[in-house]
Amino acid sequence: MMAKTPSRKTDIPAPVVAQDTADDARQATLEKKYRASRSAFNSWETAQVRTDQHLYTALGRLAEFAAAVGNDHQTLIDFAAARGVRATKASTPYTVTARLIVADRKKTNKYATVLHLAARRGIEPTEDRIAEFIKAEGGIEACLRSFRELPREGGPAKGGGRPSAFGKAMERIGGFSRIEAPAGLELAELSGDYFLVVGVRHADGTTHLLQQPVTDEQVVRKAVATMASKE
């Protein structure tokens, strides 16, 4: 009688769950930060009185969202694509996250640049630290100017660190006499350092100021440069 040949056990590999678990955790974190950032911006946009500090806090939440992806840029691209936002590997995390949260492309670019500046300065990407940084820099427009003066990553400094023409103009008008803004002036939505107030002279000789300031950057820069040139 022939002896039975022992059956050979087939090695069945254990299911790979570690990577799937890590991916799920990353997606859950992105979703959480995405919702928190959307909530922060929605709160700012719908507030009866929108303050600069409120906006800076919202940008802090956006920085936390951008930081949540870490170095896994493809995950962020896929996350954006699932929500109808196109991005490429050339898009910075700040640009992608800003596009996911903010519909206005002009504002998207501004906010992404502010967060990029904060990263270049080594600011911790948390709500409080980003808000403090923007306030210390002097606001959104000041951050944009600072970023333009930065050297390219891996390149020489622009203009040898010399101040821009607008920066020189601001220095010249720094000594101009100033008065407190009228109580009725609508300042809640201002984010830049400088703005224009339009005065109206009536037929009876009285003058009034329009409550809505002018914030167009090119117009403001031209006005500041014109004032400085008269000194």
CB atoms within 10 A of CB 150: 14
Runs of H (alpha helix) within the chain: 18-46, 52-68, 73-81, 93-101, 105-120, 127-137, 140-149, 165-172, 217-229
Per-residue pLDDT of the chain (231 residues; tens, 9 = 90+): 555 555 555 555 555 455 567 677 778 888 999 999 999 999 988 888 889 999 999 999 999 999 988 778 888 889 999 999 988 878 889 999 999 999 888 899 999 999 999 999 899 999 999 999 999 999 999 999 998 887 766 544 444 444 556 666 666 666 566 676 777 777 655 555 667 787 788 877 788 887 777 776 667 777 767 776 765
Q: For residue 131, what pLDDT is reported?
A: 94
Between strands 199-201 and 207-209, the pairing is antiparallel
pTM of structure:
0.58
Question: What's the rounded Cα separation, in Å, for the pair 86 and 214?
Answer: 33
CB-CB contact of 126 with 60 (8 Å): yes
* Domain extents in the chain: 21-161, 166-229
Q: Which two tokens stand for residue 133?
A: 């940084």
The residue count of the chain comes to 231
Q: For residue 10, what pLDDT is reported?
A: 52
**Hey, which residues does 196 pair with through a beta bridge?**
214
